[in-house]
Amino acid sequence: MKSLKDLEAIRDRAKQEMSLRETENKTRIIVGMATCGIAAGARPIMAAFNQELELRGLHSASVSITGCVGVCRYEPMCDVIDPNGDRTTYINLDAGKVRRIVAEHIVNRRPVTAFTIGAAER
C-alpha cells in the first residue's frame, strides 16, 4: 500500500466481500423507496415486511431499499430475490399482501403470482 487510493481500494473490496457474505443463501426483499414509492405507501410496506419476518423469526431473509424502479403506477412494489437468483416483482402492495408473500413465497417458496407485475399485464 503506497497511497490513500490503495487504501480506499482495499476498503471497497472488503465492503463488497462483506456485503456478498451477508446476503449469501438469503432471500432478499428490495422495496422501492423513491419519491413515488414513498408517496404510494412504501414505508409501511417496508415496516410490514420487517415486522412479519421478525414475528416469524425468519433470519433467512433480509429487507433493503432501492431507488426508482421506473414503473410508478405499480407502487408500492418490491422485488423478492431467492438465494438462487430468481427475481419476482410484486406490485400494488399493502400489508395483507405482504403477510401472504412472506407466508407463501418466503416460507414455502411459492411465489404469489396474483400479486406480480406479470399478472397486471394480463
Q: Residue 120: what pLDDT? A: 64
35: helix, coil or strand? helix
Full pLDDT tens readout for the chain, 122 residues:
578 787 788 877 776 766 555 556 799 999 999 999 999 999 999 999 999 999 999 999 999 999 998 899 999 999 999 998 999 999 999 999 999 999 999 999 999 999 998 776 65
CATH number (domain holding residue 67)? 3.40.30.10
- Asked if residue 18 belongs to a domain, the reply is no
Domain boundaries, position 37: 25-121
> Which pLDDT score, from 0 to 100, does residue 95 have?
95
- How many folded domains does the chain comprise? 1
